[in-house]
């Protein structure tokens, strides 16, 4: 899993806005790898 992507999302405030969107983005990143 890309922990750096999660940290970036939290730092930019996206995590607070829509945690589900971040989860979907993480799943998409995993599929790409």
1-31 tens-digit pLDDT: 577 877 887 777 655 657 778 788 888 888 7
Structural contact between residues 26 and 2, judged by C-beta atoms closer than 8 angstroms:
yes
Is the pTM of the predicted complex or chain greater than 0.75?
Answer: no
The C-alpha atoms of residue 12 and residue 32 are separated, in whole angstroms, by 23
Position with higher pLDDT, 33 vs 26 = 26
Structure token digits, residue 5: 């992507």
């Amino acid at each position: 899993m890309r922990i750096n992507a999660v940290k970036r999302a939290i730092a930019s405030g996206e995590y607070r806005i829509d945690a589900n969107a971040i989860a979907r983005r993480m799943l998409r990143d995993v599929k790409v790898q």
